Structure 1
């Protein structure tokens, strides 16, 4: 695992991909944190963080004594997360939305705005639209 992506995120993404492709299915038990950490040469806290994020996303379920298993709705959620990750990484986008943004982006650039400023403004607008705090 030699990329700029943090190791816990690499573990999280790999498990999501295994669920998305059917390699892991609902009800399958994941390795214990210490076992997987040992297999991957990572700290147990790194794997624990990945499992925690997966649990928050309702991809896995952890029960004391029973371990961590793939959650019942994990396949659909994994597909959604994989699709989102692909878009965020520059993958396929909605052509209709792209057309909606083309004009305002061109206008912002004509005013001298840099891409980073445009992206920050879009994020702030999304936060305001969802009622979240933009900062």
Structure 2
């Protein structure tokens, strides 16, 4: 069965797991975007998007002329990324946050809100949207 994750996310998570598991270490070089894309049978833009996301979380660093390498501190960053992904995939959650959200979620359900609406509302709050719909 194909993965429900987009290909760029699959590439990103694979590199995160390789760093977290010690297969890739700080200073190790990654293939160039085009070479990596060709190896995986993906478009270069897909791998470029994964690399960009990995740079934003300081797991990799790209320097013109020097290529792309695993960043210093990448192991700890990869652990954090993997933990976040586990939570997003329904993995372990913080018990304190769970108890904090249980009441408001129960109240929203009592008022007739569906889970999909509750999740959309939480995402809107996380994105900084106010009740009026603006930021």
Same fold (TM over 0.5): yes
Give the Cα–Cα distance (whole angstroms) in 1 for the partners of residues 51 and 6 of structure 2.
Answer: 14
Question: Please, which runs of 5 or more residues in structure 2 have no aligned partner?
Answer: none
- 1:42 maps to which residue? 42
> Counterpart of 1:62 in 2: which secondary structure?
strand
Q: Is structure 2 residue 98 aligned with structure 1 residue 98?
A: yes
After superposition, what is the alpha-carbon deviation per residue over 1:65-117, rounded to whole angstroms, capped at 9, x for unaligned?
11100000111111111100100110001112212221221111111111112
- 2:18 maps to which residue? 18
Give the Cα–Cα distance (whole angstroms) in 2 for the partners of residues 47 and 125 of structure 1.
Answer: 30
* RMSD between superposed Cα atoms in Å: 2.0
Give the Cα–Cα distance (whole angstroms) in 2 for the partners of residues 99 and 51 of structure 1.
Answer: 36
> Counterpart of 1:91 in 2: which secondary structure?
coil
- 1:85 maps to which residue? 85
Give the Cα–Cα distance (whole angstroms) in 1 for the partners of residues 120 and 134 of structure 2.
Answer: 9
How many residues matched? 132
Give the Cα–Cα distance (whole angstroms) in 1 for the partners of residues 102 and 94 of structure 2.
Answer: 12
> Counterpart of 2:69 in 1: which secondary structure?
strand
Question: Please, which runs of 5 or more residues in structure 1 have no aligned partner?
Answer: none
Give the Cα–Cα distance (whole angstroms) in 2 for the partners of residues 78 and 38 of structure 1.
Answer: 25
- 1:55 maps to which residue? 55
TM-score (norm 2): 0.88
